[in-house]
C-alpha cells in the first residue's frame, strides 16, 4: 500500500513539470539574437529553453554540433526529436500563445515546404542582414546567457 502512494506522488510530480523544448540559436548573430530576445519576451516563453550555440560550453547533445547549430535554427522537442529550419520556427510558435496563429499556418498542407524554401533562401543573406541589424543597434548575445 505504501508503494502505491509513492508511485502516485511521483506521477503527479512529473505531470507538474513538463519538459521544455530547447531552442538552439547563434548568439553571435545580432539579427538572430534580436529575434530570440523577442521570443523570450513573449507570454509562454517559460515553456522554451534557449541555448546559445556560440557558447563554447553549450550543451547541444550528441546529434548536433556547434557548426550546424549556428548555421540553422534548431529546436529539440520535449520528446527528444531534433528539428531545424521552418519546423524549428513552427515549434517555437506553437509554444507561444501570441504566435500560435503562425504555427497553425505552418501546419497547413504545403506550408512547411514553402516556409523551408523561404528559410533556405534567407540563410545566404543572413550575414549581410545581421550586419545591418548591428548597425541599427542589435547586439550579439552576452556570453553568459543561458536559461536552461
User: Average per-residue pLDDT in the chain?
Assistant: 84
4 has a pLDDT exceeding 50 = no
Write down the pLDDT at residue 147.
Answer: 66
- Per the confidence metrics, is the pTM higher than 0.75? yes
The Cα 52–Cα 20 span in angstroms is 16
Residues 78, 18 contacting (CB under 8 angstroms): yes
Q: What is the pLDDT of residues 59-110, one digit of tens each?
A: 998 999 999 999 999 999 999 999 999 999 999 999 999 999 999 999 999 9
Residues 39, 92 contacting (CB under 8 angstroms): yes
From 5-19, 42-56, 79-93, the region with the lowest mean pLDDT = 5-19
Helices 126-135 and 30-40: crossing angle, nearest 10°?
Answer: 70
Write down the pLDDT at residue 15.
Answer: 40
Write down the pLDDT at residue 140.
Answer: 67
Find the radius of gyration of the CA atoms of the chain.
17
DSSP strand pairing (21-25 vs 74-76): antiparallel
Amino acid at each position: 500500500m505504501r508503494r502505491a502512494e509513492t508511485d502516485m506522488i511521483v506521477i503527479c510530480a512529473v505531470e507538474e513539470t513538463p519538459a521544455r523544448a530547447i531552442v538552439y540559436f547563434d548568439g553571435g548573430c545580432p539579427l538572430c539574437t534580436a529575434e530570440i530576445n523577442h521570443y523570450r519576451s513573449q507570454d509562454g516563453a517559460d515553456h522554451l529553453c534557449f541555448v546559445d550555440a556560440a557558447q563554447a560550453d553549450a550543451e547541444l547533445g550528441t546529434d548536433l554540433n556547434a557548426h550546424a547549430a549556428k548555421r540553422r535554427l534548431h529546436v529539440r522537442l520535449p520528446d527528444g526529436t531534433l528539428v531545424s529550419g521552418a519546423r524549428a520556427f513552427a515549434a517555437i510558435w506553437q509554444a507561444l500563445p501570441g504566435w500560435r496563429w503562425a504555427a497553425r499556418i505552418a501546419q497547413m498542407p504545403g506550408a512547411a515546404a514553402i516556409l523551408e524554401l523561404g528559410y533556405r533562401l534567407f540563410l545566404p543573406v543572413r550575414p549581410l542582414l545581421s550586419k545591418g541589424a548591428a548597425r541599427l543597434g542589435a547586439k550579439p548575445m552576452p556570453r553568459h546567457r543561458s536559461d536552461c
